[in-house]
Amino acid sequence: MAHFHYKAIASNGKTVQGSIAADRIELASRELRGQGLTLVSLESGSGRMAVGEKSRSVGSDDILAMTRELAVLLRAGLPIDRALKVMIDMVAVERSQLLLEELLASVKAGKGLSQAMEPYRKDFGNFYINMIRSGEASGHMADVLTRLSDYLTNAKTVRSSVISALIYPCILLSVATLSIVGMLGFVVPQFETLFADMGDALPALTRGIIAAGDFVESYGWLMLVLSAIAVYLGRNWAGTEAGRGRLDQWLLQLPVLGPVVFKYEIAKFARTIGTLMGNGVALVQSISIAVDTVDNTQVKKALGVLEPAVKRGQRMSVALQETNSFTPMVVQIVRVGEESGSLDRMMTELADVYDEEVQAGVKRSLALLEPVLILVMGGTIALIIIAVLMGIMSINDLAL
C-alpha cells in the first residue's frame, strides 16, 4: 500500500496537509473527498496530481455512456447533483467514477456543469462543453444531452464503420507481404544448390529470383531495421506542420479516396454547426468550434476563412464559394439554409448525406483495393514459382 501526501481545504476554509495510505492515487483522492476535503494537490513518490488532473484520460466511449445515462436521469426529473450521485454508484469504470466525483464536488460547490467540466476540456472538447453551456442557458439540459448522445453515437458509428472496413485489407496486405518474404527468404534458397552449377545457362528470370532470395536471406534483418527506421522518421515527419500539411494534401488528391476524406471532414464540420446552432449557440462561435473538429489541415485552412468573413457581415455561402475549395452542393445547401432561416437543419442534412456517401465511398474504395492486393500477391508468388520451374526445365534440357 502506497503513501500519498496531500494538501486540501477543509470545510471551515482552513488549509490542511497530511498523508494517507491507499492502493492507488484514485482511491486516496476518493477517501479524502469523503472526509469533506477539497483537494489542492495529491502527491506520491512517483509524482504529483493536482486538482482537475487525472492519472488516466477518459475515453470517448466512456463519455458517450456517461452522456446517455445523464440524459435518462435528467429526463426522469432528477436534479443534476442527484443524477451525478446515482451515476457514481452505477459506473463500473474507475476512471469514469473519479471524473464523476470531481464533477459532483464542483457542482455541489455552486458551479455549473459546464464550469465543472472545464478542467477536463481535453476529454470533453470545446463542442461538448459549449453544448452543455447552451443547455444550462436554455434550461433544457436533458434535451441537449440527448442531442449530444445522438451526435456522439453517429460519430462513433461512422468512425467504426470506416475502421472495420479497413481491417480486412490491412490483414490481406500483411499476409501478402509475409508470403512473398517467406517465399524469397526460405523457399527459393532451397533450390539454390540445385541450380549452383548451371551458371549463365539459367534463365534470367530464375537468376533474378535467386538473387532476390539470397538478398532477403542475408539482409532480411537489415530490411526490418530500415523499415522500422523509415516508419519512425515518417511518423516524425507527419507530426510536423509541414509534413502533416503535405500528407493531408496528398490524401485529398487521391483519385478514389480523396473525395471520401473531404466528405468525411465536411460531414463532421456540418454536423457540429447544425447541432450547436440548434441549441442556441451563436453562428460565429459555432463556426469556431466546428473548425476545430476538422482533422485535415487543408480542409481546416479552407474553412478558416469563415469566422472572419461572418464577423465582417459576409454570408457563409459566399465565403465558401470564394475559396473554390468546396463542391457546389455544399455551397448551395448553405445558401438555402441562410435564405430559409434554417441553417442548423440544412447543415445537419448535409452531414447526413455526406455520412452516407462516406460509407458508400469506403466500400467502393475497398471493392477496388481488395482485388488489386490479391492480384499483386498472386502475381508475385506465381512469378516466383514460374522462375523456379523454368530453372528446373533448364536442367532437364541440359540433361537431354
Of the pLDDT bands very low, low, confident and very high (cuts 50, 70, 90), residue 332 is: very high
| Separation of alpha carbons 298 and 251, rounded Å | 10
Most confident of the following: 59-63, 89-93, 226-230 = 226-230
- Asked if residue 269 lies in contact with residue 303, where contact means CB atoms within 8 angstroms, the answer is yes
* Interval 303-321: pLDDT, tens: 999 999 999 999 999 999 9
Select from 10, 12, 14, 34 the least CA-distant residue to 98.
34
The CA-atom distances, in angstroms, between 188 and each of 71, 383, 385 are 63, 12, 9
Q: What single DSSP character describes residue 192?
A: T
Percent of the chain exceeding pLDDT 70 equals 89
What's the pTM value of the predicted model, to 2 decimals?
A: 0.65
- Tally of CB atoms within 10 A around 76: 10
Mean pLDDT for the stretch of residues 370-396: 83
Cα separation of 343 and 274, whole Å? Answer: 7
Give CA–CA dist 101/84, Å, rounded: 8
Tell which residue, 205, 194, 212, has the closest CA to residue 386: 205
pLDDT at 43: 66
Stretch 16-21: mean pLDDT: 76
Architecture of the structural domain at 60-139: Up-down Bundle (1.20)
- pLDDT above 80 for 266: yes
Tell me the torsion sign for CA atoms 250, 251, 253, 255: positive
The pLDDT, as a whole number, for residue 229 is: 93
* pLDDT band at 262; cut points 50, 70, 90: very high
Position 53 confidence tier, pLDDT thresholds 50, 70, 90: very low
- Tell me which DSSP letter residue 7 carries: E
Contact 84, 104 (CB under 8 A): yes
For residue 209 the three cell numbers come to 529470383
Map grid coordinates 503513501 to a residue.
Answer: 3
In whole angstroms, give the CA distance from residue 155 to residue 148.
10
For position 51, what pLDDT does the model report? 44
State how far the alpha carbon of 201 is from the alpha carbons of 120, 291, 395, in Å.
72, 66, 9
Instruction: Indicate the pLDDT class of residue 24, thresholds 50, 70 and 90.
Output: low
Q: What is the pLDDT of residue 334?
A: 92
Q: In terms of DSSP bridges, do strands 15-22 and 47-50 run parallel, antiparallel, or are they unpaired?
A: unpaired
What residue type is 358 in one-letter code? Answer: V
Amino acid at 279: N
Model pLDDT for residues 216-233, shown as the tens digit of each residue: 888 878 888 998 999 889
Beta pairing partners, 49: 42
Specify the residue for cell string 434535451. Answer: 143
In this prediction, residues 155-170 reach a mean pLDDT of 78
Task: Decide if 374 contacts 294 (C-beta within 8 A).
Answer: no
Single-letter code of the amino acid located at 246? R
- In this chain, the answer to whether the domains covering 60-139 and 168-400 adopt an identical fold is yes
Q: What is the pLDDT of residue 3?
A: 67
Lowest mean pLDDT among 34-43, 87-96, 384-393: 34-43
CATH superfamily of 168-400: Type II secretion system (T2SS), domain F (1.20.81.30)
Burial of 20 (0-12, 13-18, 19+ CB in 10 A): middle
Amino acid identity, position 339: E
| Domain locations in the chain as residue ranges | 2-50, 60-139, 168-400
Contact 5, 19 (CB under 8 A): yes
**Which amino acid would we find at residue 380?**
T
Mind listing the pLDDT tens digit for each residue in 167-207?
888 888 888 888 888 888 888 887 777 776 666 677 888 88
Task: Supply the pLDDT for residue 337.
Answer: 92
